[in-house]
Amino acid sequence: MNEVIILLFIGLVAGMLSGMIGIGGGVIIVPALVYFLGTSQHTAQGTTLAMFLIPIGILGVMNYYKAGHIDIRIALIIAITFVVGSFFGSRIAISLNQEMLKRIFGVLMLLLALKMIIGK
């Protein structure tokens, strides 16, 4: 049950950031699956592509699926909450001025880069 709460949170945050500053999948969901759920990098990437299956990643998903690197349950939970999060994130972004939005995006990218470079 704890894992489902983490997945709901990942989907909501990724959706909000996608709606707010145009990021989500590779930048938020992949690292979150690796660091919070302990999935392998391959499974995190394959699962994230599965979440985007219909709109963007069907061919990539087929390759990851054949290699056994997709967790369908995780992809579905995050996909559902991603939709909700993107609605609220876009509402927040619209209310912010362009400079503030740029700063939020830049700080987030910097923090994620530092996390990836420094490690756990």
State the average pLDDT for the chain: 84
Summarised one tens digit per residue, pLDDT across range 32-85 is 898 899 998 888 888 887 887 666 667 777 888 899 998 999 989 988 898 888
Residues across the chain? 120
- Mean pLDDT value of segment 21-36: 82
From residue 56, how far is each of 14, 49, 103 by CA, in Å?
17, 8, 28
Q: For the full predicted model, state whether its pTM sits above 0.75.
A: no
- Are the C-beta atoms of 83 and 18 separated by less than 8 Å? no
Domain containing residue 12: 2-118
pLDDT cut 70: percent of the chain above it: 92
Comparing 98 with 114, which gets the higher pLDDT?
114
Spell out the alpha helix ranges (H) of the chain: 2-21, 30-37, 41-51, 58-66, 72-95, 98-118
- Nearest CA to 28 out of 44, 50, 5 is that of 44
Q: What is the pLDDT of residue 105?
A: 75
Q: Is the pLDDT of residue 23 over 80?
A: no
Q: Is the pLDDT of residue 14 over 90?
A: no
* Beta strand residue intervals within the chain, DSSP E: none
- Nearest CA to 89 out of 72, 104, 109 is that of 104
Structurally, the chain folds into a number of domains equal to 1
Q: What is the pLDDT of residue 36?
A: 92
